[in-house]
Structure 1
Amino acid sequence: MSDINKLHNAEGAEETNLNENSTGLDTNKTVEETSHTDAQSNEVVAKTAEEKLEEDKTHSVKNLDEHDEVLNEIEESNAEDAEDEGNKDRHKIEVKEYDTMSLEALAIELERLLKNEKVQAIRNHVNSINSEFKTKLQALIDEKKEDFVNDGGHEIDFYYSSPVQKRFKAAYREYRKKLNEHYQSLEKNLKQNLADKLEIIEELKGLIDVEENINTTYKHFKELQERWRNTGPIPRDKYNNAWNSYHHHVEMFYDFLHLNRDLRDLDFKHNLEKKLLIIERAEELTKDDNVMHAFRELQELHKMWKEELGPVAREHREEIWERFKAATKIINDKRQLYYQEIDKVYEKNLEKKLEIISQIDNVTAQESNTHGAWQKKIRAVEELRDAFFNAGKVPIKVNEDTWAKFKETVRTFNRQKNAFYKGLKKDQYSNLQLKLDLIKIAEDNKDSEDFETVTPLMKKIQSDWKKIGHVPRKDSDKIWKRFKAACNHYFDRIHAKRNAASKEQVEAYNKKNELLDKLKDLKLPKDKDKSVDLIKEQISEWQNLGKVPNDKRFIEGKFQKTIDQLLTGLKMAKNEVEMIKFENKLDVLNASEDSRNLDNERAFIRKKIDEVKSQINQLENNLQFFTNVEDDNPVVKEVKNNIKEHKESLKLWKNKLSKIKELY
């Protein structure tokens, strides 16, 4: 029988006992004068154990049939809270969608919980975070290992570590340390609190036999109740026994208290008022849309009903208990419905994940015999893998099985991928030899003085380099640096020789100066298209004037600035203006004898694309932390605007990359 029902039954037993002896004595009477009534009280208290047990069984069966399942659940939770008060806070901490977070986001969330919450309140959160982190890290390690083996490494030599892994381990170690310190301190406090409460129970036992004024005894009783409430948590396995013993002796005292009806009725009135307030709050909670919040507060109300309040008059007992029980049932029914809806969501998520697994199987089954086709398949599987992680939670009973299916499907794909690329190893080593031959040509000619003959040769081997396919990854950077160093050395020498200005370059400079002065006073037509055509004509004329001396090349910057000002004055989209400016810049670069200018520009654009993508990912990750926040929140709006601006910028950089690729 639950403790709440015992309390409920105890109220009835107390009321019966008190009503059997309704004639009270004046509180100022001596102990001798009340001895006869004391004997009556003891006779009432001496009711046989068999009779009480039978009553308890009858009432218990009735209540179990009606409602005890949810009451027992509340009791178990409150017993757990009694051992560790930090458990109360665990419901207030938001449980985020950890399965959708990146490794870095999981590490950040663990650090945040450690910094802002009680260590004993985040146990479930940390366990979920740790499980997700290990799962995703293992998946990453598996991929890195397969790449390592694919590049020719031996499985036994593989080792992988990342900064985020070290960061997470450091935070988790700190969590374990704090948790151990907490439990060591808690164990000591729990034992002391238990000893204090047992001492209170012993004092309660002695109240009935003490020979003193009833008011003094009652005051002592109230002090013991207050001490009981203020004593901290005790071990969970001792909680119910200690409380039952305490409540039993409280009942005994109330039986004894029938000697003074005024004190008894005053307590009954106080308890009734408080219990009615509890009922009213429980009935309010039946209308709360936050089901889990309502249930957690209901647990607290049951705890107050049980631990802080005593019995009420018999005529109110059944009525208020039925009201409280009815409200409890409504809240619990809503909670069960909530769980059913959650289960439906999890089932939908399961369907999504199984469909993703099926799609990966389909990608694996596609015939692919070229590097390009496999790269396309790899990107497709990466997208499906991300979709799997973002699909949400599935029912616990199938979680491990679903994850196992996913891992096996991805491994099957990776095995086929590795088999294909191992077949390309011979081609890669052939390509490596071809590039080493080009490096030898570049290094043999880098100090040549025969610029007329060697310059076309150097340009040709640069072009040939781009046409040769992949080489083993471990050699790629090393041979590229050698080749680039030899070519740069040669072209730097050419540039040094050409620093002296030629007559034609001086003439071109003078003409460009004149054209620049004219452009400052150029009046554009009102028609936008005509204005753009006119500006392009000026650009074409400028380019046809030829090159200027190296020490006069600053004039090119002045021209670019003037053209930019003319374009800015037109009512055109920002990206459209930028593309016209960029095309003008490409024309200048393409006219240069040094092919490195275009190479550097292309490398710069690719770097900008990577940077903007990284910024977008970071902003989108940051946005995940703004849960339960309205869209019109200023911070959220600012982040979304930043994402929009970065995406526009990314589009522009991609268009520029497409333009420069056309020149190749």
Structure 2
Amino acid sequence: MENKTQSIDYKAMSLNDLVQSLTTLIEGKPIQEIKEQASIIRSSFYYQYNEQLEAAKSLFIQDGGNEIDFEYSQPIQTEFKSLWKSYVEKKNNFYRKLSMELEDNLVKREDIIASIKTLVDQGEVSKTYQEFQQLMSDWKGIGAVTSDKYQETWGNYHLYVEQYYDLLHINSDLRAIDFKYNLEAKQKIITHAKSLLSHTDPQHAFNELQMLHKVWKEETGPVAKEFREIIWEEFSTLSNEINSRRALMLEELKAEEENNLAQKLIKINEITSFDFSKNKSFGDWKKSIESFDILKKEFLSIGKVPKNKNKMIWDTFKEATRAFNTAKNQYFKEVKASQSKAVLAKKALIEEAKVWKDSEHFDEATEVYKRIQSSWKKIGFVPRKQADQLWKEFRGICDAYFERLNTVKKDGTLEEQENFKNKETFLLKIENEEINVDNYKEFLKDWLDLGSVPSQKNKIDQDILNAITHKMVFLEENIDRDFIEYQLKMSYLFAIDSKKLGTEYNHLRTDIDRFTKDLKQLENNLGFFSNSKKSNPLLERAMASIELEKNKLQLAKKKMKYLKSLQ
């Protein structure tokens, strides 16, 4: 069985419900009766609040915050602190007032004892009986005294009351009336005690019984001798039955608390054995935290344990959670450090992007932006709030640069625009000049020295190439026209985009390697003709092939040399 206090599971309540419960207790019950419940409510409130605080701190650190900057305050805590303060003040006021009342009651009781003693000393009971009755009535109306004075005052009071009644035997009528009155009062107490046997709450019945014993002792006088033992035996038997019911309830509660203790120890063992050793990622820890919180809630949902085991069980519980909490905090501390490092890395890339944002060296700047954009993707996790802010700034800088780059590619730089004008002039000059194998290189050099033009206007270079080709005059028959045409083609590629020469360079490098290898193989094959006549057709064919490969190799090297001269 459980009484109302024990049936309320404050640990399972929300913070708001705990505040409301304490408010209801303070406003609806005597302040001296709610100490145990108030203490449980307070410990339950701060356990939950501190759990929320730790969770908020972990999230703050996870989002990149510095632990020393963490602040946490909830209106519900302020409300609870104010409510608890009012409870403490009300409790202190009650006990301060109670202390004064106990002292005042002691003085009043001692005065009555002294007055009854005086009546006994006078010995004239017939004249003082009314006064004696009033003193007894006044005694009943006086409240409690301090526990250290209770037995002394009660003993002295009954000593002199008995002495007065001993004197009162000379007036049997008065004594009989008094005994009858006292018997009726004690019979009412017994009737009340009988009703307690059927009460559903043994603890309530026990508490009521204590009040009946107090009334029996302090507020009812003696009865006739023939009833004294009988009536006390009846009341005593009832008291034993009520006490037995309470003892049985306490045994059941004790058994339940022992069972709760065993269940909590089992749950603590599960918490201690909780495996988080394989946690590597935030997702791993998130799952572990959720599972670990379930274990803690299951522990908290188990009922009360024996009072002398309460501190031990809480200390063991805290110790069981320490390893997990320490590892969890260490992980988030490392995550925070990693996130801080990632934030710094992204800020460094932003600063580098700012440096190149207005650069006129577009080729170099574009390579830089490609590199830092690639590096940005490889940087570790950054909390969303900071990540969004940093990305917005970084993207803004990159977008601004590439918008400017696109504009430049379309319209060209001022230098490229000037180069275009100069190439137009150069094109007109070509049309009025004679170009031949003796001077064409000068025209090519002048053309390439003019630099690049806007990409949208590079048709001018095609026009220059066509003009030079059209104007070219070959005065001798043995001139290497293919090589000259090659020079013209490469000059054009260099004029529109020098990077295009890279492909041609690689192609020539491959040709040179192949021609060199083929020539070496052909020369090695001459060994087969060491004893042959010079007129051998196969030998002549082999010599012709060697000569052809030599010419190919020579031309390829010649082209390579020209390419290098352009760079």
With structure 1 as the length reference, what TM-score do the two structures score?
0.50
CA contact (8 A) 2:58 2:332 kept: no
Q: Say which SS state the counterpart of residue 363 (structure 1) adopts.
A: coil
Q: Which among 383, 394, 401 is matched to residue 294 of structure 2?
A: 383
AA aligned to 1:477 is: K
Q: Which among 259, 269, 272 is matched to residue 358 of structure 1?
A: 269
Residues 343 and 146 from structure 1, CA distance in 2 versus in 1: closer, same or farther, beyond 3 angstroms? Answer: farther
Query: C-alpha separation between the residues in 2 aligned to 1:257 and 1:485?
Result: 106
Equivalences for residues 39-50 of structure 1 within 5 A: none
> Counterpart in 2 of 1:227?
138
Q: Say which SS state the counterpart of residue 369 (structure 1) adopts.
A: coil
Query: C-alpha separation between the residues in 2 aligned to 1:285 and 1:312?
Result: 24
> Counterpart in 2 of 1:179?
91
Q: Say which SS state the counterpart of residue 275 (structure 2) adopts.
A: helix
Query: C-alpha separation between the residues in 2 aligned to 1:254 and 1:315?
Result: 16
> Counterpart in 2 of 1:245?
156
Structure possessing the higher radius of gyration over alpha carbons = 2
Query: C-alpha separation between the residues in 2 aligned to 1:403 and 1:93?
Result: 21
Structure 1 residue 149 displacement after superposition: 6.6
Equivalences for residues 108-187 of structure 1 within 5 A: 108-141=20-53, 160-187=72-99
CA contact (8 A) 1:229 1:308 kept: yes
Residues 407 and 150 from structure 1, CA distance in 2 versus in 1: closer, same or farther, beyond 3 angstroms? Answer: farther
Query: C-alpha separation between the residues in 2 aligned to 1:172 and 1:435?
Result: 49
Residues 301 and 186 from structure 1, CA distance in 2 versus in 1: closer, same or farther, beyond 3 angstroms? Answer: closer
Query: C-alpha separation between the residues in 2 aligned to 1:395 and 1:350?
Result: 7
Q: Which among 108, 130, 140 is matched to residue 196 of structure 1?
A: 108
> Counterpart in 2 of 1:539?
none
* Residues matched between the structures, number: 380
Residues 169 and 98 from structure 1, CA distance in 2 versus in 1: closer, same or farther, beyond 3 angstroms? Answer: same
Query: C-alpha separation between the residues in 2 aligned to 1:222 and 1:466?
Result: 99
Q: Say which SS state the counterpart of residue 364 (structure 1) adopts.
A: coil
CA contact (8 A) 2:350 2:393 kept: no
Query: C-alpha separation between the residues in 1 aligned to 2:135 and 2:230?
Result: 29
Q: Which among 166, 179, 192 is matched to residue 255 of structure 1?
A: 166
AA aligned to 2:111 is: E
Residues 182 and 396 from structure 1, CA distance in 2 versus in 1: closer, same or farther, beyond 3 angstroms? Answer: closer
Query: C-alpha separation between the residues in 2 aligned to 1:225 and 1:369?
Result: 81
Residues 307 and 152 from structure 1, CA distance in 2 versus in 1: closer, same or farther, beyond 3 angstroms? Answer: same
Query: C-alpha separation between the residues in 2 aligned to 1:398 and 1:467?
Result: 55
Structure 1 residue 251 displacement after superposition: 0.6
AA aligned to 1:261 is: S
Equivalences for residues 415-454 of structure 1 within 5 A: 415-425=326-336, 428-429=339-340, 432=343
AA aligned to 1:243 is: W
Structure 1 residue 297 displacement after superposition: 1.3
Query: C-alpha separation between the residues in 1 aligned to 2:300 and 2:22?
Result: 19
AA aligned to 1:179 is: K
Instruction: Judge which range, 172-181 or 404-413, deviates more.
Output: 172-181
Structure 1 residue 95 displacement after superposition: 7.3
Structure 1 residue 423 displacement after superposition: 4.5
AA aligned to 1:257 is: L
Residues 430 and 92 from structure 1, CA distance in 2 versus in 1: closer, same or farther, beyond 3 angstroms? Answer: closer
Residues 423 and 220 from structure 1, CA distance in 2 versus in 1: closer, same or farther, beyond 3 angstroms? Answer: closer
Structure 1 residue 249 displacement after superposition: 1.0
Cα deviations across residues 557-593 of structure 1 (Å, max 9, x unaligned)? xxxxxxxxxxxxxxxxxxxxxxxxxxxxxxxxxxxxx
Instruction: Judge which range, 314-323 or 359-368, deviates more.
Output: 359-368
Residues 307 and 484 from structure 1, CA distance in 2 versus in 1: closer, same or farther, beyond 3 angstroms? Answer: farther
> Counterpart in 2 of 1:480?
388
Bigger relative CO (Cα 8 Å, ≥ 6 apart): 1
Query: C-alpha separation between the residues in 2 aligned to 1:466 and 1:259?
Result: 113
CA contact (8 A) 1:279 1:324 kept: yes
Residues 365 and 374 from structure 1, CA distance in 2 versus in 1: closer, same or farther, beyond 3 angstroms? Answer: closer
AA aligned to 1:122 is: I
The answer to whether the aligner puts 1:404 opposite 2:315 as a matched pair is yes
The answer to whether the aligner puts 1:271 opposite 2:271 as a matched pair is no
Residues 188 and 406 from structure 1, CA distance in 2 versus in 1: closer, same or farther, beyond 3 angstroms? Answer: closer
Q: Which among 233, 236, 253 is matched to residue 147 of structure 2?
A: 236
Q: Which among 321, 327, 349 is matched to residue 232 of structure 2?
A: 321
Query: C-alpha separation between the residues in 2 aligned to 1:195 and 1:221?
Result: 18
Structure 1 residue 302 displacement after superposition: 0.9
Query: C-alpha separation between the residues in 2 aligned to 1:435 and 1:382?
Result: 35
Structure 1 residue 355 displacement after superposition: 2.4
Query: C-alpha separation between the residues in 2 aligned to 1:426 and 1:261?
Result: 97
> Counterpart in 2 of 1:599?
none
Q: Say which SS state the counterpart of residue 273 (structure 2) adopts.
A: helix
Query: C-alpha separation between the residues in 2 aligned to 1:152 and 1:486?
Result: 19
Query: C-alpha separation between the residues in 2 aligned to 1:410 and 1:138?
Result: 14
Structure 1 residue 339 displacement after superposition: 0.9
The answer to whether the aligner puts 1:311 opposite 2:222 as a matched pair is yes
Structure 1 residue 328 displacement after superposition: 1.0
AA aligned to 2:219 is: E
Cα deviations across residues 80-103 of structure 1 (Å, max 9, x unaligned)? xxxxxxxxxxx9988733333344
CA contact (8 A) 1:269 1:312 kept: yes
Equivalences for residues 73-112 of structure 1 within 5 A: 96-112=8-24
Residues 93 and 356 from structure 1, CA distance in 2 versus in 1: closer, same or farther, beyond 3 angstroms? Answer: closer
AA aligned to 2:81 is: K
Query: C-alpha separation between the residues in 2 aligned to 1:107 and 1:176?
Result: 15
CA contact (8 A) 1:271 1:312 kept: yes
Query: C-alpha separation between the residues in 2 aligned to 1:419 and 1:92?
Result: 43
Taking only the aligned residue pairs, the percentage that are identical comes to 39
Query: C-alpha separation between the residues in 2 aligned to 1:156 and 1:468?
Result: 26
AA aligned to 1:178 is: K
AA aligned to 1:246 is: Y
Cα deviations across residues 484-516 of structure 1 (Å, max 9, x unaligned)? 79999xxxxxxxxxxxxxxxxxxxxxxxxxxxx
Query: C-alpha separation between the residues in 2 aligned to 1:325 and 1:435?
Result: 86
With structure 2 as the length reference, what TM-score do the two structures score?
0.58
Residues 343 and 275 from structure 1, CA distance in 2 versus in 1: closer, same or farther, beyond 3 angstroms? Answer: same
The answer to whether the aligner puts 1:372 opposite 2:280 as a matched pair is no
CA contact (8 A) 1:99 1:393 kept: no
AA aligned to 1:203 is: S
Structure 1 residue 409 displacement after superposition: 2.1
> Counterpart in 2 of 1:471?
382
> Counterpart in 2 of 1:208?
120
CA contact (8 A) 1:436 1:479 kept: no
AA aligned to 2:167 is: F
Structure 1 residue 321 displacement after superposition: 1.4
Query: C-alpha separation between the residues in 1 aligned to 2:70 and 2:392?
Result: 31
The runs of 5 or more residues in structure 1 that have no matched partner are 1-90, 444-464, 489-664
CA contact (8 A) 1:346 1:393 kept: yes
Query: C-alpha separation between the residues in 1 aligned to 2:390 and 2:123?
Result: 104
Q: Which among 256, 262, 269 is matched to residue 345 of structure 1?
A: 256
Query: C-alpha separation between the residues in 1 aligned to 2:345 and 2:393?
Result: 18
Q: Say which SS state the counterpart of residue 25 (structure 2) adopts.
A: helix
Instruction: Judge which range, 256-265 or 195-204, deviates more.
Output: 195-204
Query: C-alpha separation between the residues in 1 aligned to 2:35 and 2:240?
Result: 29
